[in-house]
Amino acid sequence: MIADDSVVVRGLFARWLGESGRFHVVGVAGDGEAAVECAGRHHPDIMVLDLDMPILDGAEALPQIVRQSPGTAVLLTTTLTERNAQLALQCMSRGAVDVLPKPDRRSSLTLSLDFRSELLDKLGSIAQSRQRHGEAGPDLGPGAAPQGGVVDLRPLISVMPRYLLIGASTGGPRAVARMLADLGDALASLTTLVVQHMPPLFTASFADQIAAQLGIPAREPYDGERLARGMVYVAPGGRHLGVDRKLGHIVASVSDGPPVHFCRPAVDVLFSEAARHLGPAALGLVMTGMGSDGTDGAAALRRTGAAVIVQDEASSTIWGMPGSVLRAGQASIVLPLGGIGPAIRALVGGAHPA
């Protein structure tokens, strides 16, 4: 189902979806109120929901859509503004699976092959995830069972970690915030760096959201900044975040290098540079997300003796990134979302998680 106040955008999206041969559009809506009604009538597998709509905007309509059709996966679309970034993050904490920024002008939307490709890729990943999970969606609770069969796991830890490196994409804002909350006081003993695939404005708002919800210092770092324990650093949207060593101190490396596996920021960049400068003092964590970003970097971490945790399939919105690391034999342990925080707490406390 497509909900957007522009008849041009609704027609364009419907044509793209039809031409792909993978989707069937069951309904369209031009405002939030109609989107709620249409969701209750059709119970679509996926809804593409615009944030900026009359009567009810997307943020106001979302809770009603979730109540009317709890099995519907909602992909948000919106123009890039600070307000919309904040609203989108709120929506993702309330059940939306991801957000896709629109090009600035509708003319560029019509001509944007990159936007069309990204829209279809995201919808395809969501559809595949629904087929695996069923309509109930991922299990975000602590009892979710690890999946993946027989894999190559190495001993989880060789030294107590001092740096926590997190990579996430689709479904990540909600999962990362949950995991950080589970870490609690252990965050004070760690320097935490997060690569969350999101565009500019969204990453700054994500850092602000973490700081407000958890009461911990969180922000985007600047290039060359000395990294401090007890801080959460979020990679700026559209820029790579890595680490470097200068004058005996570990500092942030923020760069405009080319995308890696179509990603900027890229988890592979953070993990690879951490492997070079931090070695086994780093702990890698690959969480829910589409694609394979993080797999090469996880291998680099593993070669130094560092451990890599991956989120399990049952609790992931999209099991692309963590599944890729696991299949490549670069995971130390596979854990459900509810088990990641307690496991890291145990490692920081000097214990080995059960």
Confidence check: pLDDT of 273 > 90: yes
270: helix, coil or strand?
helix
68, exposed or middle or buried, with CB in 10 Å at 0-12, 13-18, 19+?
middle
In a domain, 15, yes or no: yes
76: helix, coil or strand?
strand
Residue in the block written with tokens 């990540």? 172
Are 124 and 204 part of one and the same domain?
A: no
High-pLDDT (> 90) share of the chain, %: 79
In a domain, 172, yes or no: yes
pLDDT band at 148 (very low <50, low <70, confident <90, very high): very low
Confidence check: pLDDT of 142 > 70: no
Are 199 and 343 part of one and the same domain?
A: yes
- Cβ atoms of 272 and 284 within 8 Å: the answer is no
In a domain, 261, yes or no: yes
CA proximity to 289, closest of 313, 319, 310, 245:
319
In a domain, 151, yes or no: no
- Cβ atoms of 284 and 301 within 8 Å: the answer is yes
Are 124 and 227 part of one and the same domain?
A: no
Q: Whole-prediction pTM value?
A: 0.88
Are 19 and 110 part of one and the same domain?
A: yes
Q: What is the CATH number of the domain that holds 246?
A: 3.40.50.180
- Give me 56's structure tokens: 């009810």
The rounded distance, in Å, linking the Cα atoms of 298 and 302 is: 6
Confidence check: pLDDT of 334 > 90: yes
Residue 169 known to be catalytic: yes
Q: Which residues, 6 or more positions from 149, have their beta carbon under 8 angstroms from its beta carbon?
A: none
Are 106 and 184 part of one and the same domain?
A: no
Given the residues 4, 5, 50, 293, the one annotated as active site: 293
pLDDT digits (tens, 9 = 90+) for 156-194: 555 689 999 999 999 999 999 999 999 999 999 999 999
Confidence at residue 130, expressed as pLDDT on a 0 to 100 scale = 77
Q: What is the CATH number of the domain that holds 78?
A: 3.40.50.2300
Are 172 and 126 part of one and the same domain?
A: no
Are 91 and 240 part of one and the same domain?
A: no
Residue 197 known to be catalytic: yes
In a domain, 147, yes or no: no
Confidence at residue 352, expressed as pLDDT on a 0 to 100 scale = 60
- Cβ atoms of 131 and 159 within 8 Å: the answer is no
In a domain, 158, yes or no: no
Confidence check: pLDDT of 59 > 50: yes
Using alpha carbons only, how large is the chain's radius of gyration in Å?
20
In a domain, 138, yes or no: no
Are 213 and 341 part of one and the same domain?
A: yes
Given the residues 52, 133, 182, 197, the one annotated as active site: 197
Average pLDDT, the chain: 89
- Give me 30's structure tokens: 């031009």
Given the residues 69, 125, 129, 169, the one annotated as active site: 169
In a domain, 234, yes or no: yes
- Region 127-133: what's the mean pLDDT? 77
Confidence check: pLDDT of 104 > 80: no
| Total number of domains constituting the chain | 2
Are 118 and 167 part of one and the same domain?
A: no
pLDDT band at 140 (very low <50, low <70, confident <90, very high): very low
pLDDT digits (tens, 9 = 90+) for 286-325: 999 999 999 999 999 999 999 999 999 999 999 999 999 9
Residue 278: give the domain boundaries.
Answer: 163-348
- Region 128-141: what's the mean pLDDT? 61
